[in-house]
A and B are shown apart, each in its own frame.
Chain A
């Protein structure tokens, strides 16, 4: 069974997923952050591959990408850094990035190396379903890597059901019509949207992302979906403090309620 499937079998609620950009804040922080996230109970990691023109991202992730590229992060280096990662990291890791760098690298070669290193799936915001199905799907299947699709408040029921049909890991529920970025709380409009999607009783688990920043937004998202993805708020925390271990531990514990022993 895939790591992602196994996780959702074991744990159905309040999954914590953290996004960060490879090569940020420093070029070799990637593995340190991964280890610290695992130690502190993160369920899934989304590892961002920096791109010069991240269209679906807000200012915080844009900035982290810019810094990471300046730091010298690139796909060869990332694969080099994560070559041995499965010796110590057992949680699922999803690679997230834009299509152009992958095409330039060679999609076949990229997927091959990603699979070899033990990555579990991909999120490519600018690879929409139509283009994926028209030309790239066989390559993903060849390397056994799932492509994860997004659902937004504008996605109608028919399309949500189609996405559910072609998905095999989880569905990424975008919390609101927006680029990425931290928000303080969700409006009733968003709650209604979460309820609408939940009422479809989809086959795939749902993780909510975009705008999750604190315990309140995390808990709201978890009420209707299996967990939430936090990106910008975590990157902001990394910007403020360079002690990775303490940043990660403080951050995760500010989001998740302490488990009663």
Chain B
């Protein structure tokens, strides 16, 4: 099976570039140039140097002993939470900012849900001295306040998206409209493996450093470069794409993505796209999405701002369709419980998004000898208020 997109950006039936003519030139420029630019050895060196010296890569692959004991297996955490800015998102923004510079762009826009991608974008814009505008849903601005403050400190302008559910989908709409209105000087740094071709492939390549490192680190630690299972949470799907990337063609590695079920997939308050979605077009990409009978996009819900999205990257729609990966739905409650467990067992406070990956450990039976890698996509500093509310609630 083939998990690389064709030249039009299709993974099987999913992908493509359903862009208005107004974006044609910008998107075509990216389509024609991204592979050449990324493949250039000078680019590769600059990217690798920054990942090492600025981001702090490679991130550790940590054998979580007490967690392993609890689940009677061998659980490794890929510590993307230890990256500069606290999540995997910066792997992509470093790559895209270098690309934007080579394209001669001077103004950067981005959308953000949890604020991690916004912070990672604001960070690289400060580093490269480029203007930065971040669109963020009004609801997310409230629930991820620490990240809003960080973006502002870093010199970015945070613009609230006030339409629809006022979350990630709406922030993405506003970013696309901004790009339409500024076609000459602006590069749009999309934060996940979503949007029109070439974004899903480009972002997956920048995130693929995660699985590249996992392979090396596992070989050192266990003598085998492939684990039995890789688990990652899926909003748009970038950390999962990065964690799966170099294992896609090894069918013996089981891949598990976890979606946010919110209050439950049948409650109408959910963001579990693959569980309840159908094919369609969202944000210029043919993929699975949550919609009503007339094709109006449904407003999603999750406690986790980074997973609160009614679509999913086309790669994951394809992995789901071909059954190369399996996908679980994790409720708010299950995610919070998994977060608290990691805090107490390992002394690590995970992001709410990443907690959805950890919650899979409760749902899947593992063998004693198996090697499990959970991609810990980010840290929980931004979620302290939510966690404290939940903790106080439990104590009352």
Instruction: Please indicate the chain A residues that have their CB under 8 angstroms from the CB of B36 in the complex.
Output: none
Instruction: Please indicate the chain A residues that have their CB under 8 angstroms from the CB of B177 in the complex.
Output: 55-56, 58, 179
Cross-interface CB contact of B169 among A53, A100, A104, A126, cutoff 8 Å: A53
Cross-interface CB contact of A134 among B8, B180, B284, cutoff 8 Å: B8
A179 to B22, CA, bound (A): 9
Instruction: Please indicate the chain B residues that have their CB under 8 angstroms from the CB of A98 in the complex.
Output: 281
Cross-interface CB contact of B295 among A56, A58, A100, cutoff 8 Å: A100
A76 to B169, CA, bound (A): 26
Instruction: Please indicate the chain A residues that have their CB under 8 angstroms from the CB of B282 in the complex.
Output: 53, 100
Give the interface residue-count category, chain A: 35 or more
Residue B278, interface by CB 8 Å: yes
A76 to B294, CA, bound (A): 9
Is the pair B18, A99 in contact by a Cβ cutoff of 8 Å? yes
A83-119 CB contact bits vs B (8 Å, 1 = yes)? 0000000000000001111111100000000000000
Give the interface residue-count category, chain B: 35 or more
Is the pair A100, B291 in contact by a Cβ cutoff of 8 Å? yes
CB distance from A60 to the nearest CB of B (A): 13
Instruction: Please indicate the chain B residues that have their CB under 8 angstroms from the CB of A103 in the complex.
Output: 279-281, 295
Instruction: Please indicate the chain B residues that have their CB under 8 angstroms from the CB of A55 in the complex.
Output: 20, 173, 176-177, 180, 283-284
CB distance from A31 to the nearest CB of B (A): 20
Is the pair B181, A101 in contact by a Cβ cutoff of 8 Å? no
Instruction: Please indicate the chain B residues that have their CB under 8 angstroms from the CB of A56 in the complex.
Output: 20, 22, 177, 180
Is the pair A69, B22 in contact by a Cβ cutoff of 8 Å? no
A131-B180 contact in complex given A99-B281, A126-B284, C-beta closer than 8 Å: no
A91 to B280, CA, bound (A): 33
A177-B182 contact in complex given A100-B280, A104-B278, C-beta closer than 8 Å: yes
A177-B180 contact in complex given A55-B284, A104-B278, C-beta closer than 8 Å: yes
A177 to B297, CA, bound (A): 26
A45-74 CB contact bits vs B (8 Å, 1 = yes)? 000000111011010001000100100001
Cross-interface CB contact of B20 among A51, A125, A156, cutoff 8 Å: A125
A128-B294 contact in complex given A53-B173, A103-B280, A155-B24, C-beta closer than 8 Å: no
A156 to B24, CA, bound (A): 10
CB distance from B127 to the nearest CB of A (A): 28
Residue in B22, B182, B297 whose Cβ sees the most chain A Cβ within 10 Å: B22
Q: Which residues of A contact B (CB under 8 A)?
A: 51-53, 55-56, 58, 62, 66, 69, 74-76, 98-105, 125-131, 134, 149-152, 154-156, 159, 174, 177-179
Write the chain B residue with the least CB distance to A172: B21
Interface residues of B in 280-300 (CB under 8 A from A): 280-284, 289, 291, 293-297
Write the chain B residue with the least CB distance to A62: B163
CB distance from B7 to the nearest CB of A (A): 11
A52 to B283, CA, bound (A): 12
CB distance from B190 to the nearest CB of A (A): 14
Instruction: Please indicate the chain B residues that have their CB under 8 angstroms from the CB of A159 in the complex.
Output: 24
Residue B19, interface by CB 8 Å: yes
A150-B20 contact in complex given A53-B169, A66-B163, A177-B181, C-beta closer than 8 Å: yes
Interface residues of B in 7-37 (CB under 8 A from A): 8, 16-22, 24-26
Cβ contacts A to B, 30 pairs, < 8 Å: A53-B164, A56-B177, A62-B163, A69-B296, A99-B281, A100-B281, A100-B289, A100-B295, A100-B297, A101-B294, A103-B279, A103-B281, A104-B280, A104-B291, A104-B294, A104-B295, A105-B294, A125-B21, A127-B18, A128-B18, A128-B24, A129-B21, A130-B8, A131-B16, A134-B8, A150-B22, A151-B21, A159-B24, A178-B180, A179-B180
A174 to B21, CA, bound (A): 9
Instruction: Please indicate the chain B residues that have their CB under 8 angstroms from the CB of A66 in the complex.
Output: 163
Instruction: Please indicate the chain A residues that have their CB under 8 angstroms from the CB of B169 in the complex.
Output: 53
A155-B18 contact in complex given A100-B281, A177-B182, A179-B180, C-beta closer than 8 Å: no
Is the pair B25, A101 in contact by a Cβ cutoff of 8 Å? no
Residue in B176, B278, B294 whose Cβ sees the most chain A Cβ within 10 Å: B294
Residue B56, interface by CB 8 Å: no
Is the pair B22, A128 in contact by a Cβ cutoff of 8 Å? no
